[in-house]
């Protein structure tokens, strides 16, 4: 993948404990105390600030989610839920003895770190727009700030490529999967995990003012406005097919929101989903609702407060689908056959 120039300087840099650049552009003068790499590095850390949250500055596309401590905590809660859903596994691809693994859009890197611990013999790389990964990590995992929506340079390198919760972040999924295809070794696997956008209840009519519907509709509309849909999970299978993958398998999980199921495992996963949503609904929608739908931040907060109430209400018996899809790169591509 290419390393492009970072975005223009942010509107309101956060302090972030990083070297400060003054309002003048002295950091870019010949006599600068910073090398080019250091300048690039410090601008990557000068996060954009919007309504009290911080966002990445680097990359060709604008990610919807904040990258501050609150958002990182939420991602780690989500990771626990995803792992419970897979009963402790990290992926479902039937890959054997992977040597090189790539986690695309790694976030806090928690999946990549767990994966490195599970496969000490493998090298695990995580890429993201935000430099929010820890530095105390197993020796076989490393992170790079990189943009998966730009051209990739890796070719036939990985045994396994994993992505999770990239909804709303990819303009063209078939193109994205073609890049993954190219980066995989022949016979390598892709493993995709995405939450469904819509919520429903088999038992209760959620009514016309249902905050779940308003929230999902808003994400759907705002994602489409920026050309990066949030409605991803149900389509992964056909996009993988279009990109040339074979042996595609899809597993769908119907996950409760909250602990209303009689089944102990479903109650457990459901209560983590509840926590993940209580902590995350605002992170998902705030930037898109304000910038694309012209909502005020107060309107966003009111909807999110109503939604959090609904999420905590176990009597609504709400559920949500989660999609796990795997595909394999053929041992021989069509051109070689």
Ligand X SMILES: C[S@@+](CC[C@H](N)C(=O)[O-])C[C@H]1O[C@@H](n2cnc3c(N)ncnc32)[C@H](O)[C@@H]1O
Considering beta carbons, is residue 56 or 319 the nearer one to ligand X?
Answer: 56
Q: Residue 334 to residues 157, 160, 186, 245, 329: CA-CA distances in angstroms? A: 19, 21, 12, 11, 11
Cα 129 to chain centroid distance, Å, stands at: 11
**What is the number of the residue whose Cβ is closest to ligand X?**
107
Considering beta carbons, is residue 276 or 316 the nearer one to ligand X?
Answer: 276
Considering beta carbons, is residue 184 or 228 the nearer one to ligand X?
Answer: 228
Distance in Å, CB of 67 to ligand X, minimum: 6
Distance in Å, CB of 113 to ligand X, minimum: 11
What is the rounded radius of gyration, in angstroms, for the C-alpha atoms of the chain? 21
Q: Which of 65, 66, 98, 327 binds ligand X (CB under 6 A)?
A: 65
Residues 189 and 100: their CA atoms lie apart, in Å, by 11
Neighbours of 192 (CB within 10 A): 29
Distance in Å, CB of 10 to ligand X, minimum: 15
Considering beta carbons, is residue 13 or 107 the nearer one to ligand X?
Answer: 107
Distance in Å, CB of 91 to ligand X, minimum: 12
Considering beta carbons, is residue 106 or 286 the nearer one to ligand X?
Answer: 106
Q: Which of 116, 124, 127, 269 binds ligand X (CB under 6 A)?
A: 127
- CB contact at 8 A, 259 and 317: no
Cβ neighbours for 5, distance < 8 A, ≥ 6 positions apart: none
Does 47 bind ligand X (CB under 6 A)? Our answer is: no
66-105: which residues touch ligand X (CB under 6 A)?
A: 75, 78-79, 105
SS (H, E, C) 90-131: CCCCCCCCCCEEEEECCCCCHHHHHHHHHCCCCEEEEEECCC
Phi, psi of 10 (to 5 degrees): -70, 160
Question: What is the token pair recorded at 53?
Answer: 């949250």
**Interface size with ligand X, residues (CB under 6 A):** 24
Residues 13 and 54: their CA atoms lie apart, in Å, by 9
Closest Cα to residue 111, out of 148, 78, 147?
78
Site mask, ligand X, residues 128-167, x = CB under 6 A? Answer: xxx----------------xxx--------------xxx-
- CB contact at 8 A, 130 and 48: no
Considering beta carbons, is residue 98 or 126 the nearer one to ligand X?
Answer: 126
Distance in Å, CB of 60 to ligand X, minimum: 7
Distance in Å, CB of 311 to ligand X, minimum: 18
Residues 7 and 183: their CA atoms lie apart, in Å, by 26
Residues in touch with ligand X (CB under 6 A):
56, 59, 61, 63, 65, 75, 78-79, 105-107, 110-111, 127-130, 147-149, 164-166, 169
């Amino acid at each position: 993948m290419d390393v492009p120039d970072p975005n223009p300087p942010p509107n309101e840099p956060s302090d972030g404990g990083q070297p400060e650049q003054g309002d003048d552009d002295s950091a870019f003068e010949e006599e600068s105390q910073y090398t080019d790499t250091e300048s690039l590095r410090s601008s990557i850390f000068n996060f954009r600030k919007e309504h009290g949250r911080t966002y990445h500055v680097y990359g060709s596309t604008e990610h919807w989610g904040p990258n501050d401590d609150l958002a990182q905590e939420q991602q780690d809660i989500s990771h626990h839920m995803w792992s419970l859903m897979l009963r402790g596994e990290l992926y479902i691809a039937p890959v054997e003895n992977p040597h090189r693994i790539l986690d695309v859009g790694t976030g806090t890197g928690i999946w990549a770190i767990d994966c490195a611990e599970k496969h000490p013999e493998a090298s695990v790389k995580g890429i993201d727009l935000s430099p929010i990964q820890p530095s105390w990590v197993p020796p076989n995992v490393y992170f790079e700030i990189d943009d998966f929506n730009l051209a990739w340079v890796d070719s036939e390198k990985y045994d396994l490529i994993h992505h999770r919760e990239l909804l709303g972040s990819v303009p063209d999924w078939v193109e994205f999967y073609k890049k993954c295809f190219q980066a995989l070794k022949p016979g390598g696997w892709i493993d995709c995990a995405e939450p469904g956008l819509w919520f429903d209840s088999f038992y209760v009519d959620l009514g016309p003012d249902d905050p779940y519907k308003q929230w999902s509709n808003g994400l759907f509309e705002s994602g489409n406005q920026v050309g990066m849909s949030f409605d991803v999970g149900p389509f992964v299978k056909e996009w993988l097919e279009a990109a040339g993958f074979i042996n595609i398998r899809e597993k769908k999980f119907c996950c409760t929101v909250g602990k209303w199921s009689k089944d102990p495992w479903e109650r457990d996963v459901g209560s983590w989903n509840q926590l993940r949503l209580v902590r995350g609904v605002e992170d998902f929608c705030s930037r898109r609702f304000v910038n694309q739908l012209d909502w005020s931040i107060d309107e966003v907060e009111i909807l999110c407060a109503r939604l959090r109430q609904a999420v905590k209400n176990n009597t609504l018996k709400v559920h949500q689908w989660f999609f796990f899809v795997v595909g394999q790169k053929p041992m021989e591509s069509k051109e070689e056959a």
